[in-house]
Structures are given as C-alpha cells and as structure tokens.
Amino acid sequence: MAKTGSSSKLIIIIFASLIIFIAQAKKPIDPYKVLGVDRNASQRDIQKAFHKLSLQYHPDKNKNKGAQQKFEEINNAYDILSDEQKRKNYDLYGDESGGPSFGGGSAGDYSYFTGGRQGQSRFSFRPDQWQNMGGQGSRSFSFSFGGPGGSNPFGFGLNDIFSNLFGGDMGESGFGGSFGSQFGSSRTKAGSQSGFKSRPKIVHTVNPLVFEKEINDKGITWLLLSYTTSTMSIQQYEPILEEIANSLKGVLKVGKVNCENEPSFCKSHGIYSHKAPRLFIYSYTTTDGGSFVEYNDDWDTKSLKSFCQEHLPRYSRRISLDNFEPSFVAGEKLPRVMLLSTKRDTPVIWRALSALYHKRFIFFDAQVHDASNPNVKNLGVNALPAIVGWLSNGERQILKAGISVKDLESGVQELGLLLESFEKKNKKIASSQKKSESESSSKEIPHLTASNLDTVCGEEIPVCLIGAFRSSKARDRLESILLMVSQKSLSRRRNLSSDSRDSISYTLLDATKQQSFLNAFDKSGFKSSDSFLVAYKPRKGKYAAFTGDMSAEEAEKFISSVLSGDVQFNKTRQKPMIK
C-alpha cells in the first residue's frame, strides 16, 4: 500500500507539473493591452485606438526596428476585439477561437483529451503538437487511468485532481467524459451559439449587381475602397471608414470592392487597385448622374470627412429672398421647396435630400439671419429653420417651421416623409389642373378686335393683359405663355358676389396692324420689340409694359407684380381704339 501511495503522489506531482508547463508554454499577448483600452471599451473606442496605433506603426511611415512586429500585433488585437464573437470567446476562455486554454492560449494549440477505452480516462498530446511543449521530434505522450471494468490501481479518481484545479466536480463521466467533450467540441459550440449578435454591417461589399441596384444614380453618396488581396491588408483602413460612415449616417454609405474578383467592373469605372488600396467617392454634381472622384489626401478622419462633405450633392439652388418667386415652366408639374436657415452654406441634410428627391422636386435654399427678416415674414414663416413649398399651381405652403432633428439619419427620414406628403398633395393638384386644361384645351387666347374690345378690354375689366407680337413665331410663343398663365390661380377674383369673372383678361394683338392702338400707350408704340406685354387698366386709363426677354418665368413675374401693385403704372396718352 505504501508503494501505491507513493506512486499516487508521484503521478499527482508529474501531472501538476505538466499543467503548469503547458500554461507557461505559450502566453498570447493581451489584445486589450496591445490597443491600450479597458476590457469594457466600446467598439468606437476600440476603433479609435486601432486607427491611431495603426497609423503610428504603419511600415510605410514607421521605419524603426520592431515597428513591423508591433503593427502585426495591433492588427491581430483588432481582429479579435472588433469581432463580437471572438471578443466574447477571448473574455470567457482567453482564446478567441472559443476553447478554454491554459495560460490564455487555445487548448487546440497544445493538447487534446480523449476518453480512451471503456472504463479508462486518457490524456494525450497530439504528436504534431509536441514541439509546442518544448520537446523534440514527433513523439506522442499520454497518461492512461483505470483498467478494464473501471478499476483504478492508483486508488484515486480524476475528480480528486481536477476538482481543485478547475473548481468543481467533473460529473459522473469524469475527465474523459464531460470535460473531454467540452474541450473537443468547444470550438464548434462557440460557433453555433445563437446568443451572439453580429455587428451591423457598415462597410458593404460591392459588386456590379450591388452597384446597379444601390449606387448608380440612386441619389445616395457612397465612399468606396478598392483593393486586391495581393495588396497590403485593408484592416487598418476599415475603422476610419466606419467612423466616417457613422458620422455621416443617413447621407453617406461606405463600401469596398475586391478588384481581383471584379476586374472588369473596376477597370470600366477607372477604380482598379494595383499596389495599394484606393479610395473613391461616388459624387453627384449638378448633372443627372454620379461619377467616381479619387481621394488623395492623408488618411485621417478630419480630412476624409471634409472631402466627403465637399462632394455631397448640390442639387439645391442657393438664392436670395429679395423678390424671389419660383417660376413654373409651361407643362412643368414638379413642386418647389425651399429651406430657410442661418447656415452660410447649404446644410448637409438638405444637400442629401436634394439628391434623393432631385427628380421629384425643384430645390432652393437661402440664408437668413433670423425670423424677423421682412422677406421671411412675407412668406408666413415665424421660426427657423423652415421649409416652404410651392405646389405646381403656384400655391405656397409652410411645410414646417422651427425644424429640430436628432441626427442626420433620423432627419433625412423625417424630412423625407414631409416631402413625400407634399408630393402627394401636389399630384392631386396636378391631376385637377390636367383635367381643367383638358377641358379648356380647345380654348384660345382671343385676338383683340373692334368687335370684342369692350368685352375683353372694356371698363368693366379691371386689368386687360395684351400680348403684342410682330411675327408668327412671337405670336405662337406669346399664346403658349398666356394660355399657361391664365390657368393659374394667380389671377385675383373680383370682389363682386354676383360676378365670378377673373380680375384680369388675356388677349393677343397684331402690332403690325394695330400700331395706332399701341401709340395710345407709348409714343413709339414699342416699335423696337418683337413681342411685349401691356397691362391696361381701362377704367383708370393707366398701363404698365414689359418689353424684356419673353419667357414664361418673366411673364409670370410681370403679371404677379401687376396684381400685387408692385409695378408702376403710367397714364395713357389717349384712349386706345381699334380700327
């Protein structure tokens, strides 16, 4: 019995020594220490730390001895901590692969355990792993406990050893059962646990299908990294891309394309990467399409974010509020929207919206200092920032005043819904307009004659608008403009309950045949103009004329000024008469 007791003690000593030896064989570097972050650091903190260190130790910038090794350690540490599952495994087991380890290394790197034959427990090192223990060659090394029928010649069980080492009973199956099973399958179990949630995908993989479906002329700006697997690892670039994506979330997306996998796509768009990764932004200009613009500055957050903001869309027209009135070209049904803010430049959120909806709205924006500005008050706005809209019939509405948004992403969504609601309202108006125009399509602007002079320009008519022409081309143009303008709601109604006629009538006049009629207004009879407008107030004997470049926009402005009293009227030389 004394011999058996000595053997038992010897086995315990040998086994304990082996455990300690294994624990000290390989001690991986703590990724938290490598990046200099706490164990409870957020992903954003980890990204920032990695970005700072990777730039500091990048072999292209740091030629000091040991920089390359340090750079690799930084990349390895970030690979573990940036992946939720690997980080979870490391925190639980000291090994990102998911298995418990001695001294923080992977159990699979050093040893494996098997149950042996029935009634036996067996601890065995794989032959190809012997060198990890400091030994030589490919010798196997194993312990076997117990014999047939479960007898134990040493007089102690495995639970006696491992209950102290691992803090708990090993269960009925002993070391070769539950614990051996745990080691043998831990990696598989870790990979199949459904409790882990993967990080939201920020840097999207781009291929030709994704490009056509989500990028090409879709209104959203993309930052795209092109690379090949033969170039340096792109890991060090991804944190800064994620940071940019998060800071401009809602107005910009980030992607990466492997040009070895998609050579035709990269070459056709001029973004192929050869020696090093390249960075492009899919930028929108004032044209209808986007194009790739390469980034060639330093890889730091401030410079890259500035570059991205500079290349955000500019579909919104910057205007001054002085005498501003949006025009509607003949047949144009798109509503107009204008942002009023105190910003010196068009706000990022409005630039993004102008691209997302640029085929559905005409965008404007203006800088104002405060809501007390007379132009702002005239629009009916009492708080800034504000969005003012014009329906296709010229009707103005305040979409929202005193706008407040939590962030870019929610702001784009909230204001996008506001625009879509206004668009639906405009479609109803446009449909009604189309019906009205269809009903009046057979109507024409009458030509002024002696027989209809009293009806069209008699003293019962507050304002008679005369479109005078000296050529057939000018006649057709004027008729088209007056037909369009006459359908709009800018014509005021008379304040007579018994008479619903418009306060303005429209007529055409052949200036080559009615020169004497025009001489009653102006001594020269406007002979220098091929086409012009005369707003005549028969009862008061006054008139105002427009002889500038004739367009629907200018004609509408003139008529609006006439109706609002913002244009100066002159006395007629005599009462105009038609011969």
- Taking a C-beta distance cutoff of 8 angstroms, is the pair 75, 53 a contact? no
Pairing of strands 396-401, 504-510: unpaired
Q: Which of 477, 474, 354, 348 is nearest to 405 (CA)?
A: 348
| Residue 250 within any structural domain of the chain | yes
pTM summary value: 0.48
Same domain, 349 and 403: yes
Give CA–CA dist 370/355, Å, rounded: 27
CB count within 10 Å of CB 500 equals: 8
- CA of residue 383 relative to chain centroid, distance: 27
For residue 362, give the amino acid letter: I
| Residue 183 within any structural domain of the chain | yes
Give CA–CA dist 485/537, Å, rounded: 19
| Helix/strand/coil percent split, the chain, to 5 | 40, 20, 45
Give CA–CA dist 207/209, Å, rounded: 6
Q: Following DSSP, what letter does each residue of 242-281 receive, concatenated?
A: HHHHHHTBTTEEEEEEETTTSHHHHHHTT---SSS-EEEE
Give CA–CA dist 491/563, Å, rounded: 8
Same domain, 352 and 371: yes
Edge-to-edge strand list for the sheet holding 121-125: 112-114, 121-125, 141-145
| Residue 560 within any structural domain of the chain | yes
Same domain, 109 and 217: no
Q: Record the tokens describing residue 277, joined without a space.
A: 């990764």
Predicted confidence band of residue 329 (pLDDT cuts 50, 70, 90): low
Same domain, 40 and 171: yes
What percentage of residues in the chain have a pLDDT greater than 90?
37
Same domain, 267 and 161: no
Q: Is the pLDDT of residue 172 over 50?
A: no
Q: Is the pLDDT of residue 199 over 80?
A: no
Q: How many domains does the structure of the chain reveal?
A: 4
The domain boundary residue, chosen from 378, 407, 438: 438
Domain with 287 in it: 203-310
What percentage of residues in the chain have a pLDDT greater than 70?
70
Please tell me the predicted confidence (pLDDT) of residue 7: 62
Same domain, 60 and 177: yes
Q: Following DSSP, what letter does each residue of 524-579 receive, concatenated?
A: TTTTT-SEEEEEEETTTTEEEEE-S---HHHHHHHHHHHHHT-S--EE-SS-----
Question: H helices within 490-532, ranges in order?
Answer: 515-519
CA dihedral 98, 104, 106, 111 (to 10 degrees): -130
| Residue 154 within any structural domain of the chain | yes
| Residue 576 within any structural domain of the chain | no
| Residue 579 within any structural domain of the chain | no
User: Cα–Cα–Cα angle for 194, 200, 204, nearest 5°?
Assistant: 125
Residue that wins the pLDDT comparison between 302 and 201: 302
| Residue 445 within any structural domain of the chain | no
Would residue 461 be called left, alpha or beta, if left means φ above 0 and alpha means ψ between -120 and 50 degrees?
A: beta
Please tell me the predicted confidence (pLDDT) of residue 354: 94
The domain boundary residue, chosen from 415, 438, 461: 438
Q: Which CATH number belongs to the domain containing residue 113 in this structure? A: 1.10.287.110
Taking only Cα atoms into account, the Rg of the chain, rounded to an integer number of angstroms, comes to: 41
Q: Is the pLDDT of residue 401 over 70?
A: yes
Same domain, 424 and 469: no
| Residue 344 within any structural domain of the chain | yes
Q: Which of 268, 295, 203 is nearest to 242 (CA)?
A: 203
The strand pairing partners of 147, in sequence order, are none
Same domain, 14 and 133: yes
Q: Which CATH number belongs to the domain containing residue 460 in this structure? A: 3.40.30.10
Q: Which of helix, strand or coil describes residue 399?
A: strand
Same domain, 350 and 422: yes
Same domain, 214 and 306: yes
Q: 505 Cβ partners below 8 Å, 6+ apart?
A: 456, 457, 461, 463, 464, 465
Same domain, 372 and 465: no
Q: Which residue spans within 41-129 are E strands per DSSP?
A: 112-114, 121-125
Average pLDDT over residues 294-309: 91
Predicted confidence band of residue 491 (pLDDT cuts 50, 70, 90): very low
Please tell me the predicted confidence (pLDDT) of residue 487: 74
Name the average pLDDT for the chain: 76
Q: Is the pLDDT of residue 260 over 70?
A: yes
Predicted confidence band of residue 59 (pLDDT cuts 50, 70, 90): confident
Q: Is the pLDDT of residue 499 over 70?
A: no
The domain boundary residue, chosen from 192, 227, 242: 192
Give CA–CA dist 411/425, Å, rounded: 21
Same domain, 321 and 256: no
